[in-house]
Amino acid sequence: MSKSTQVFYDNLADSYRYIFPDWVGSVARQGKTIDQFLEVLGFSPAHHSLYDCTCGIGTQTFGLALQGWNVHGTDLSAKSIDLAREYASEFDTIFTPTFDVRDLLQPAENPIQYDIVLSLDNAVPHFMTDEDLITGLTTMRDHLADNGLLMISIRDYDVLIENPPKSTLPSVFESDEGKRMIFQVWDWAEDLSYYDLNMYVVHHYGDDITTQCFPAQYRALRRETLTSALDSIGLKDIQWFMPDESTYYQPIVTARKP
């Protein structure tokens, strides 16, 4: 991914857990949801290995570890990985997840292979060009064992493009540390192929107000485009699952390595 994407997540890392009203609770809920979905697809922590290749500070990694999975996580952001290692002590898991810094645009010479490779929470749309998309997906494929499962979630850009939002609604949370408000502003390209995002985190404690802004860029990645890219690198049995079916909050695509 690009240098700007790395900077975005490095800068956001310290604040990331605070964009949730209860990050630890969200970790547990997401882990349970993903585990149940994988079980339906025939995968279990007792018999399959798992690699979270865009793990950030470990939101899904820790959630799956709580469900008994032995997870390895990597991310482009060294700051996020440092925090993930630090946060590991907050979770009582059978297997403590392992973490490394990894850029998916730099393929490994001898990739370790796993039964499942995950990239959740809209990370793949940071691949802004078709070339980078293919490179990143190929790296994920190369980490799959034969008959392994690739699982990706993205925002529903097919729907969003129909009426492009200019912002997200503010989320306001209160705690002993005061109020914090999180919202995003989206500036769309004329052809709606991508948008520039600015995430604002506002902290309000007494008379003290601080505002942080974290800029990033995302590709408005349609399902057809991602499906075609997965097919072009030789993956099979490509299927889409919408939230009402998977119970995960974003559309999920799965593909198998033959």
Domain ranges of the chain: 3-156+221-256, 159-218
Q: Which has the closest alpha carbon to 25: 33, 37, 14, 15?
A: 33
Plot region of 234 (φ>0 → left; ψ -120 to 50 → alpha; else → beta): left
Answer for the pair 1, 127: CB distance below 8 angstroms, yes or no: yes
Q: Give the type of residue at 194.
A: Y
Considering only CA atoms, which of 89, 90, 52 is closest in space to residue 70? 52
Confidence (pLDDT) at 235: 98
Which pLDDT value is given to residue 197? Answer: 98
- The reply to whether the predicted model has a pTM over 0.85 is yes
248 is written with which tokens? 């995960």
Residue 39 CB partners (closer than 8 Å, separation 6+): none
The reported pLDDT for the residue numbered 1 is 66
pLDDT, averaged per 10 consecutive residues of the chain (258 residues), comes to: 87 94 96 98 98 98 98 98 98 97 94 98 98 98 98 98 97 88 97 98 91 97 98 98 98 97
Cα(245)–Cα(40) distance, integer angstroms: 11
Name the CATH superfamily, with its identifier, for domain 3-156+221-256. Vaccinia Virus protein VP39 (3.40.50.150)
